[in-house]
Structure 1
Amino acid sequence: MQSILRGYSTMLTYLNRLVGYAIGIMLAVMSILIFWQVFARFVVGESLTFSEEISRFLMIWMTMLGTAYAIREGSLIAIEMLPEVLKGKGQRILRVISEVVATIFYIVLIIYGWQMAEAVQMQTAPSTRISMFWSMLALPVGGIFMLLNSLGVISKQFLIEKGGE
């Protein structure tokens, strides 16, 4: 069992590395587009018609993927009062319970995010004419990565409990 959990953890590490690179690329593209938009508007005198829309879509994707990445790294904002009071096994149990509750939310996000993406697939963005499906797809995809990382956090607690880490 420990070897399966370690394998899952290793797979998540590589997957999160890829997601981190994708987030970095999205941030770079978004920064270039916004810089060019400001330059075109104030220096050239004409603004681009598509840059704001693409930047908005990239921001949605970065937020969803970045949240999933932050779950694995333990970087999300949290109230740490109760976990600091508890020690050892009690602290691990609390973390597992909070991750299970979060996992339920991620499953809901995946299901309803997919339904929302399907519902808007015939709508197109005004300037790029891209289907709104692609921007809404960030909800279920981000939810899947959040779920995977949350399961990784839970499995890490079991590895710690068994003395495997």
Structure 2
Amino acid sequence: MTDIRKPLSRRVVDVLTRIELGFAGVMLLVILVLVFTQAAQRYTSFEGVAWTGEISRFGLAWMTFSVAGVLITLRGHIALEVVDTLPAPRLIRVVQVASLVIVAIIAIGLTMEAWGLVQTQGALRSPVLGMPMSWVYIPVLTGMVSTIIRSLFAAFMIAKHGPILPAAELTPDIVEDHA
């Protein structure tokens, strides 16, 4: 029986992906429960819990930005998939690499802004919970760092090994790179 194991780098990426998706899943569940709680509070005589809206809003931002990098790895980001169907592997490679580099550049800008907010917003507190606002931007920062790393790595791999083609479109005419 042969032991076929993934390389260490792939296992690390898989673990990080699971952690990021797990966090996003928890945030989605928190948002769902808190929004239902808010809806129920409207129709009961109980006093409302003010922090439910605040955590719901923060949770939406945390969920959105925390999985941005995962979308790169799973090819779930916005892409020019029309180009993937062209019978020109070099063009496909250039477009895929360029789109990933553009994503990385934008993520670098967002990372710099998130880092600035983490450093400068500690004195401000959220209105209801009194949580330091710098904490609100930590998941945004980690999500954007993940996006930078994953998009640059994917761009490097595509530049080195060729474009990633849709599974349904794998035909010998498309796969061949006439160098």
Equivalent residue number for residue 104 of structure 2: 103
Residue 59 of structure 1 pairs with residue 75 of structure 2: no
Q: CA deviation at 1:128?
A: 0.5
What is the SS of the residue equivalent to 1:116?
Answer: helix
4+ residue runs of structure 1 moved beyond 6 angstroms? Answer: none
Higher relative contact order (CA 8 A, sep 6+): 1
Aligned 8 A contact 1:12 1:152 in 2: no
CA distance in 2, matches of 1:157, 1:112: 28
Equivalent residue number for residue 3 of structure 1: none
Q: CA deviation at 1:137?
A: 2.2
What is the SS of the residue equivalent to 2:67?
Answer: helix
Equivalent residue number for residue 31 of structure 2: 30
Q: What residue ranges of structure 1 are gaps of 5+ in the alignment? A: 1-5
Q: What residue ranges of structure 2 are gaps of 5+ in the alignment? A: 1-6, 163-179
Residue 131 of structure 1 pairs with residue 132 of structure 2: yes
| 1:50-108 alpha-carbon deviations (Å, 9 max, x no partner) | 00001111111101012222121111233333343353233123211221222122122
Identity, % of aligned positions: 24
Equivalent residue number for residue 120 of structure 2: 119
**Structure of larger gyration radius:** 2
Which of the two has greater helix per residue?
Answer: 1
Task: Give the residue type in structure 2 aligned to 1:79.
Answer: L
Distance 1:92 1:8, change over 3 A: farther
Equivalent residue number for residue 171 of structure 2: none
| 1:7-27 alpha-carbon deviations (Å, 9 max, x no partner) | 434321221111111111111
How many residues align? The count is 156
What is the SS of the residue equivalent to 2:43?
Answer: helix
Task: Give the residue type in structure 2 aligned to 1:42.
Answer: Y
What pairs with 1:75-90 in structure 2 (closer than 5 Å)? 75-85=76-86, 87-90=88-91
Q: CA deviation at 1:38?
A: 1.3
CA distance in 1, matches of 2:38, 2:161: 49
| 1:106-165 alpha-carbon deviations (Å, 9 max, x no partner) | 12221121112222211101111001111122332111111122133224425644xxxx
Aligned 8 A contact 1:114 1:139 in 2: no
Distance 1:114 1:86, change over 3 A: farther
TM-score by length of 2: 0.77
* Aligned alpha-carbon RMSD (Å): 2.0
Q: CA deviation at 1:37?
A: 1.7
